[in-house]
Copies of this chain bind each other. A is one copy, B any other.
């Protein structure tokens, strides 16, 4: 079914205003051009009635802009990323951008597909939570002079704009908090990953032990694969508990690992924190509703999302400005799951 193409002229005619005015309104610039709200409303309504479809391609050729941001997150089913996507959207909308989202499901292949699809859909720029082994894509975007900001994860060896967490510091804080509360044998469950943020979490954890002169035991550190979380978390916790120096506290490097681990700890009938103290990265309702509220590293999600949008928006306006590399701090929210250790009598 073909439709007669409606132009700005048609709308202007019907509204009895100039085409320039229609263009202002339909490009969301009525505030700057001081168009009356009533006129703006009328123009929009006529545009809607006439089924007006702006030609993004033509518009893009003229202005070079589509006012669209491509957001690629690592896993939409992870509440951390889903929440940050919502923040990015809200923030982008405030400054007139629409966000289209893709989820790479932690695979570099899918991430590359999405980057291609979004480039061909003429997004102005990208906000990307990188999947493992996707460095090549970052070089590709740099080569093509595409504007982008990395969010939450970055590649220290590739100079880019990024907004991330100081993961080393966060894990160090988690470890020190447990040590200062009297726990000595501290385990860490992390992902087996080449990604920098995960390595930094491990480095911070080990630094905490070192600062308190606790000798690290290899069985205290478990790195599990994405596809075998449940089995590996169980086996890991078993090994940590069967150690000559059984753990009395456990740090989870992500929310998903914590959920999996807490379910198993419940199964084992272990009491938190008396049998095992817990600190986790990530944040979620599950931590609040657990019988013993879980201590967690609160990531500044709002600030991370807003800053990523702001860095990208600025980059789109001023592509020649120096790169912005922002590291934010997590805040440890101490709750019952890591309260001061009571020596067993």
Contacts and interface: CB of A to CB of B under 8 A. Distances in A.
B119 A1 contact: no
A290 B292 CA distance: 10
Interface string A80-110: 0011011001100100001111110100001
Contact of A56 (B105, B120, B266, B289): B120
A7 B289 CA distance: 57
Interface residues of A, number: 54
A101 B98 contact: no
Contacts of A75: 86
A79 interface: yes
A211 to B, nearest CB: 32
B83 A77 contact: yes
Interface in A137-164: 140, 143-145
A12 interface: no
B110 A102 contact: no
A40 B90 CA distance: 41
Contacts of A117: 68, 98, 100
Given A110-B93, A263-B289, A3 B144 contact: yes
Interface string A255-277: 00001001100100000000000
A17 interface: no
B77 A90 contact: no
B121 A121 contact: yes
A68 to B, nearest CB: 6
Given A51-B143, A98-B114, A82 B76 contact: yes
Interface of A: 1, 3, 48, 51, 53-57, 68, 75-79, 82-83, 85-86, 89-90, 93, 98-103, 105, 110, 113-114, 116-122, 140, 143-145, 259, 262-263, 266, 284-286, 288-291
